[in-house]
Amino acid sequence: MAETRPDRITGAQALIRALEHEHVELMFGYPGGCILPAYDPLLDSEIRHVLVRHEQGAGHAAEGYAHVTGKPGVAMVTSGPAATNLVTPLMDAYMDSIPMVAITGQVPTAAIGSDAFQECDTVGITRSCTKHNELVMSPADIPMAIRQAFHIATTGRPGPTLVDIPKDCLIAEMDWYWPTDQEVLDSLPGYRPNIKGHPRMIKEAAKLILASERPVVYAGGGILKARAAEALRDLVELIDAPVVTTLMARGAFPDDHPNCLGMPGMHGNATAVTSMQKSDLLIALGARFDDRITGKVDAFAPTAKVIHVDIDPAEQGKVRKPDVPIVGDADYVIREIIREIRARQAEGATQADTSAWKSTISGWREQFPLTYEMSEPGAALKPQYCIQQLHAHAPEGTIVASGVGQHQMYASQFWRFNEPYTWVNSGGLGTMGFAIPAAIGAKAARPDRTVWAVDGDGCFQMTAQELVTATLEKLPIKVALLNNSYLGMVRQWQEMFYDERYSEVFLDSSNTPDFVMWAESMGCAGFRVESPEEVAPTIEKANAINDRPVVIEFRTDAAEGVFPMVPAGASNDDLILHPSQQDRAAALQEER
Amino acid sequence: MSGSMNHHILSVLVQNRPGVLARVAGLFARRGYNIFSLAVAPAEQEGRSRITIVVDLDSAPLEQITKQLFKLIDVIKISELDPRRSVERELLIATVRAGTEARGAVLELVTIFEGKIIAVADEVLTVSLEGHPDKLDDFEDLLDSYGIVELQRTGRVALPKLDRGARLRAVN
């Protein structure tokens, strides 16, 4: 079988072969001038290519794919405007630590720097929104560049990488080779992510956990990245501690589990927020103390010691100085902490009494559930009700993708997430228009699952064209469009902090566009729902349609706000409760 | 000028690849860290460069800067050099007004500092001085009274001080 003569192939063939060697089964892209040569060998490949309608859609679809599979999403586009259209998804993936590999065409090497047609400095532009990027200058370098890109994207703290390939490098021939693992490591002498965590710190963590009377497990997106949901559950059940799951970690721990307090942060529920504030030990696992979680940092969890497990050393102490920093893979480290706790217990150590803490928390949970008031007959729908009904009728394993804004918060608050990798959203960057392309990526990865995109009327108008992709590529996603005719979240801020002076937030989308006609024109089934009694039947109708995408437009109440809310920059102690609970606010402070 | 009080020196070993300096500089810009001076050149090992960065610590804690820098794939090693335990050097060249009246005094200054005259014209001299950045600061101050026409400093380079014995040879 030994190959005697070198396999002489073009750079383009090498690129596609390299992707096959990286086990790529599915990619998202859009061809154009400079990347043209790569699209020819793609015809002969087993790799499925989903042709999007805008390069941003390719990027978000790749992210959606990566969210639900854990495998790197791949997007391939041409140079210039196509590369700049990828900037938003790259930044989105960077903020949310999504493994993703982008391949961009570039003008021929001889033309680089000459302001050639569709030239842009792609590696320059994407340097600060990728974990790493590389401009290939010879066809012989393509296999190594691709191997490095996949290795870097998927190891350590995952993130997006980009390989920029000039057209002449795709056209010219090279002797095929596939670098070994060792060659890849040798080529990256400065890149050695730490997996194991320091044994002394792990011991220290176990000691603090056993001594804590008011522990809270603060689970972040890193749990999902590290495939650590099972380890997390083992730890929580071992120490019987309450858990909060951040916006990036919804589904990492089951909402229906008695220890789950739900989402903390700016729009977190009162119990999740307050339990962190009053805790004596935060066990932060794959979480990065984002400003949307901490509120005013100086006032965040003032009495808590902090164990911070994160694979990225730069997250340790970036926002909050940890008492026990542990740099390592969440799954590995959690298992080590469990082992250490068990060992101590076997030697007779006992856990501090947490019963008073548990009863305080259950008191809060009883008094401060997430809530809303049902709409009056004939009035616009409550968005929370729509989400609850979607969830109530969703088949098991349903994946929810969301845009950014009020509808995102309602979805995170009122959907019950009980399975990892069923929630796909843009947390760090807050990218409006994320839902539809991300849902397409998720559906392409998991065709057996129902995939709902929860969208707003603002978001929908940013990326709706990808529903054409969904129809023609036979990726029948479902879109729940909560139309309140406003940029709802911005409107809410103007209502609360700008004396109800509404500036440029009225999208006036009750007639224009006609979302149902628009959906139908893109090959989708379209429904409009205006009254509560139509909600469930229409959802059932949508669930029964599997041969094309569905869009349900729910006409929702523009005056509805997301509660609870910690105003930007305020302390988490100054949480604004739902209006119906505000008379009880003192109860959150007194039961210390 | 070096104001070394709130400065720290990072010696950063990197893979010598296209764009590596842009990555380092871009990181500082994006995270709001200030670079006080920067020098870069190939290091002892082939394919490696060493970047000496003097950072302004008012802009961010050193630990965070170092950790963020180390996330760059091309960065291999970062050493933090304590000014008290490192040797630092910089090169200054300056064109100074030195007409007939001032010429003697400027020459004397260059001699005292053990600098060099590297170009001569009727009304100006170009001088050079290599040494510890503090010494260059003094020299620059004194030259200024004669009128500096143009001045260029390289930014400092630094290495850790050697252990005892050899340290004697590392005086300023």
Output the domain CATH number for residue A245: 3.40.50.1220
Among partner residues A189, A191, A314, which is closest to B68 by beta-carbon distance? A314
Are B94 and B148 in a shared domain? yes
Confidence band (pLDDT; 50, 70, 90) for B133?
A: very high
Range of the domain at A97: 8-187
DSSP letter for A576, please: B
B58 and B34 in a common domain: yes
Residues B76 and B131 in one domain: no
Count other C-beta atoms under 10 Å from residue B104's C-beta: 10
Final residue in a domain of this structure, among B81, B98, B129 = B81
In a domain? residue B169: no
Residues of B in contact with A317 (CB under 8 A): 63-64
Residue A3 lies in a domain: no
Do A116 and A93 fall within a single domain?
A: yes
Please give the residue range of the domain that contains residue B74.
4-81
Asked whether residue B60 is assigned to any structural domain, the reply reads yes
Give which of A124, A174, A121, A118 is closest to A146, Cα–Cα. A174
Among the candidates B61, B81, B101, a domain finishes at B81
Same-domain status, A180 and A203: no
> CA-based angle A460:A438:A511, to the nearest 5?
10
Residue A127 with chain B: CB contacts under 8 Å: 19, 22-23, 26
Query: Which residues of chain A neighbour B14 with C-beta distances below 8 Å?
Result: 190
- Hey, what are A19's tokens? 């992707």
The amino acid at A569:
G
Q: Let me know if residue B99 belongs to a domain.
A: yes
- Residue B127 to chain A, least CA–CA distance (Å): 37
Tell me whether residues A128 and B26 touch, CB distance under 8 A.
yes
Q: Do B18 and A135 touch (CB under 8 A)?
A: yes
**Cβ-Cβ contacts under 8 Å, A313 against chain B:** 67, 70
pLDDT the model gives residue A591: 52
Q: Is A8 in a helix, a strand, or coil?
A: strand
Q: Are A191 and A152 in contact (CB under 8 A)?
A: yes
A243 and A345, same domain (yes or no): yes
**First CA to last CA distance, chain A:** 73
Q: What is the structure's pLDDT at B84?
A: 83
Residue pLDDT tens, chain A, 592 long: 455 567 999 999 999 999 999 999 999 999 999 999 999 999 999 999 999 999 999 999 999 999 999 999 999 999 999 999 999 999 999 999 999 999 999 999 999 999 999 999 999 999 999 999 999 999 999 999 999 999 999 999 999 999 999 999 999 999 999 999 999 999 999 999 999 999 999 999 999 999 999 999 999 999 999 999 999 999 999 999 999 999 999 999 999 999 999 999 999 999 999 999 999 999 999 999 999 999 999 999 999 999 999 999 999 999 999 999 999 999 999 999 999 999 999 999 999 999 999 999 999 999 999 999 998 888 999 999 999 999 999 999 999 999 999 999 999 999 999 999 999 999 999 999 999 999 999 999 999 999 999 999 999 999 999 999 999 999 999 999 999 999 999 999 999 999 999 999 999 999 999 999 999 999 999 999 999 999 999 999 999 999 999 999 999 999 999 999 999 999 999 999 999 999 998 888 865 4
Q: Is B120 in the same domain as B76? A: no
User: What are the C-alpha distances in Å from B121 to residues B42, B102, B113, B150?
Assistant: 35, 13, 21, 14
For A327, the closest chain B residue by CA position comes to: B67
Decide if B170 is inside a domain.
no
Q: Which of A163, A187, A211 is the last residue of a domain?
A: A187
CATH number at residue A49: 3.40.50.970
Please answer yes or no on whether B73 and A152 come within 8 Å at the CB atom.
yes
Residue with tokens 């003032």: A302
Whether A33 and A178 map to the same domain: the answer is yes
Examine the domain organization and report whether A108 and A132 are in the same domain: yes
Same domain, A435 and A517: yes
For chain B, how many structural domains are there in total? 2
Whether residue B153 sits in one domain with residue B100: yes
Q: Phi then psi for A371, rounded to 5 degrees?
A: -150, 165
Binned at pLDDT 50, 70 and 90, residue B171 comes out as very low
Residues B13 and B74 in one domain: yes
Is the domain of B95 the same as that of B70? no
Final residue of a domain: which of B49, B81, B113? B81
Tell me whether residue B164 is in a domain.
Answer: no
Q: Does A128 touch chain B (CB under 8 A)?
A: yes
Same domain, B118 and B77: no
Which of B56-60's residues contact partners 24+ apart within 8 Å by CB, and which partners? B56/B6, B56/B7, B57/B6, B57/B7, B57/B8, B58/B6, B58/B34, B59/B32, B59/B33, B59/B34, B60/B31, B60/B32, B60/B33
Same domain, B24 and B68: yes
Residue A377 domain-assigned (yes or no):
no
Tell me, yes or no, whether A211 and A333 share the same domain: yes
Residue B172 pLDDT level (bands cut at 50, 70, 90): very low
Reduce the DSSP state of residue A7 to 3 states and report it. Answer: coil
d(CA A497, CA A514): 32
Among chain A residues, the shortest Cα distance to B12 is held by A190
Query: In chain B, which residue's Cα lies nearest the Cα of A318?
Result: B64
- Report how many domains make up chain A: 3
pLDDT of residue A346: 97
